Amino acid sequence: MAAEVQEQGLQQKAKEAIITLNKAAAIQIAEQASSEMGASELVDFIEGGFKAGIMVVGDRFGKGDMFLPELVAAAEIMKSSLAILEPKLRENQVAQEPVGRIVIATVKGDLHDIGKTMVSSLLMANGFEVIDLGIDAAAPNIIDAARKNQADMICLSALLTTTIIAQKEVVDALKEMGHRKDFKVMIGGAASSQNWAEEIGADAYGADAQEATEIAIDLLKK
């Protein structure tokens, strides 16, 4: 009974650490949990603690009570905290099922990072596992990463009207390799559009981080 109460207390603290953007506390809580809890307890702890916290942040962001930089910070704190717990989870082969697994990148030739980071953060805040390949990512690398990580979805960002063509290259390469049906593809970034998504055969276009997340939730439900 006492142990359970303490466990709930730690879970509650983890949630609060995320909501209050307290990185030092989050890390300390993760370390404590890692040493005190068994692997299967950890899964529940993450769900009810860190993940519950970031869902609150995502919700408050949606309502306009918290702002984008806070959402990005929360996602980063969560990532650092989960990294502490990961070895124990992996060691014990405890499967953690995310809402969905997404590989995201800014496409080849485009060096703009910020819009993609925003989308990445909001996806994480909504329970997705996000593998962020950074900027200037070539089609083969993106597809390799999606296959290796058994991703459900590929998100492709392009800011420049001259680089959106690289979004098409990824879709074309997926088709050529016979993997188009293995992944949903969403495009975004200032230069892309709904029309472009339709033209190149992507599944969706996300106009901003909020819309991209809503679409991801919707697409991966199906």
Partner 1 sequence: MMLTAVPQMGLLDTAAKERIHEASLSILEETGIQIDSEMVANTLQEHDIPCEVTGKQGDRTLWRVKFDRDTIMKSLKTAPKGITLGGRDTKHDLYLDGKGSPDSVYYGTLGSAPVVHDIETGERRLGTLNDLAEFARLTQQLEHLDFFHVSVMPSDVPNCVVELYRWKATFENTAKHSITAASYDARNLPYLLEMVAAVQGGEDELRRRPIFSATECPIAPLFFAERAAENMVGLARAGLPVIIYSEPFAGASSPVTLAGTLLVTNAEQLAGIALTQIANPGAPVIYGGVSTTMDIRSGNISFGSPETGLLNVATTEMARFYEMPKEGSGGRTDSKLVDCQAGFEKQGNLLLAVLAGANLNNCAGTLESNYAVSLSQLVIDDDIAKRTKRILAGITLDEETLGVDLIKEIGPGGQYLGSPHTLAHMRQELCLSDLCSKGTYEDWVKKGSLSLEQMAQKKALDLLNVSEPSSLEPVVVKELEKILKSAEKAHGLT
Write out the residues near partner 1 by the rule CB under 8 A: 64, 67-69, 108, 111-112, 114-115, 118, 135-138, 160-162, 165, 190-191, 193, 195, 208-210
Count CB atoms within 10 A of the CB of residue 172: 14
Least distance (Å) between residue 57 CB and partner 1: 14
CB 138 within 8 Å of CB 167: no
State the distance between the two ends of the chain, measured CA to CA, in whole angstroms. Answer: 41
Quote the CA–CA distance of 139 and 173 in Å, as a whole number.
Answer: 7
Least distance (Å) between residue 88 CB and partner 1: 32
In terms of Cα–Cα distance, which of 167, 165, 170 is closest to 180?
A: 170
Q: Which one, 17 or 118, has the nearer CB to partner 1?
A: 118
Least distance (Å) between residue 46 CB and partner 1: 27
Q: Which one, 51 or 108, has the nearer CB to partner 1?
A: 108
Q: Which one, 51 or 112, has the nearer CB to partner 1?
A: 112
Quote the CA–CA distance of 60 and 37 in Å, as a whole number.
Answer: 30
Q: Which one, 69 or 201, has the nearer CB to partner 1?
A: 69
Residue in this structure with the two tokens 């074309």, named with its chain if needed: 172
Least distance (Å) between residue 28 CB and partner 1: 28
Q: Which one, 33 or 118, has the nearer CB to partner 1?
A: 118
Q: How many helices (H) and strands (E) does the chain have?
A: 10, 5
Q: Which residues contact 177 (CB under 8 A, 6 or more apart)?
A: 143
Least distance (Å) between residue 196 CB and partner 1: 8
Dmax (CA) of the chain: 62
